[in-house]
């Protein structure tokens, strides 16, 4: 790793920490420069602006959590799928601020001007982890056949991601928000998904 690469990585790590601590809209390039001990001009040497830096932070976070979703020697395909879906819950319990960040990241990117190609390519790794476990489950008989696997994956992944983002980002507003444990809500959705997959 070159000195330039090391500095770029340091800026990403510093910015990621700030984005996880505070709302995305409240963090400026000036804040990132101050926290990293670098000048703003140095930040702009590595990133064209806040949007590009945000994507780099999102990619870094993906790298840190993707291993939770991948099958790591589970006994059968269904267990691999259980690991995959329960990774949403593990992430929610351990780093709920990640889901808050993703919610704000999505909103920021909807305003346009952000290149999301590399981010989108990296998202495919999560689908790959699901597909590998699902296909293994079909082979070993631990999961049932789903008519449209892509539709099933996207529907369930989006539902879980949306629930985790909502619960992490919105806080409590009305008395019903206090009626259940948030992690239990995520776990209930996961168990519903898994029960529909089990052979």
Please report whether residue 53 resides in a domain.
Answer: no
Q: Tell me the mean pLDDT in the region 116-142.
A: 95
CATH number at residue 1: 1.10.10.60
- For residues 84 and 108, membership in a common domain is answered with yes
User: What pLDDT shows up at residue 177?
Assistant: 67
- Give the pLDDT of residue 15: 97
Q: Tell me which of 75-79, 149-153, 170-174 is least confident.
A: 170-174
In a domain? residue 54? no
Does the pLDDT at position 12 exceed 80? yes
Residues 125 and 70 in one domain: yes
Residue 170 belongs to a domain with what CATH number?
1.10.357
**What average pLDDT is seen over the chain?**
93
Q: What's the confidence (pLDDT) of residue 71?
A: 80
The CB-based long-range contact list for 65-72 (8 Å cut-off, 24+ gap) reads: 65/91, 65/98, 66/122, 66/125, 66/126, 66/129, 69/126, 69/129, 69/130, 70/129, 70/132, 71/129, 71/132, 71/133, 71/136
**Would the pLDDT of 66 be above 80?**
yes
Q: Is 140 a member of any domain?
A: yes
Model confidence over 76-126: pLDDT tens digits?
999 999 999 999 999 999 999 999 999 999 999 998 788 999 999 999 999
Q: What pLDDT is attached to residue 97? A: 96
The residue range of the domain holding 157 is 59-197
Does 71 lie in the same domain as 105? yes
Provide the domain count of the chain: 2
In a domain, 52, yes or no: no
């Amino acid at each position: 790793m070159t000195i330039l690469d090391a500095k770029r990585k340091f800026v990403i790590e510093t910015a990621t920490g700030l984005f996880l601590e505070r709302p995305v809209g409240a963090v400026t390039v000036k804040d990132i420069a101050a926290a990293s001990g670098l000048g703003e001009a140095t930040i702009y040497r590595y990133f064209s602006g806040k949007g590009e830096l945000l994507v780099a932070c999102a990619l870094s976070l993906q790298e840190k959590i993707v291993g939770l979703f991948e099958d790591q020697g589970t006994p059968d395909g269904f267990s691999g799928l259980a690991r995959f879906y329960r990774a949403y819950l593990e992430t929610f319990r351990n780093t709920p601020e990640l889901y808050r960040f993703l919610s704000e990241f999505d909103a920021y990117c909807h305003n346009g001007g952000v290149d999301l190609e590399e981010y989108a390519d990296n998202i495919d790794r999560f689908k790959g982890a699901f597909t590998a476990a699902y296909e293994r489950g079909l082979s070993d008989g631990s999961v049932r056949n789903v008519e449209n696997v892509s539709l099933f994956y996207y529907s369930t992944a989006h539902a879980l991601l949306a629930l985790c983002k909502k619960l992490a980002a919105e806080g409590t507003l009305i008395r019903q928000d206090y009626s259940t444990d948030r992690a239990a809500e995520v776990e209930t959705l996961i168990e519903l998904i898994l029960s529909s997959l089990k052979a």
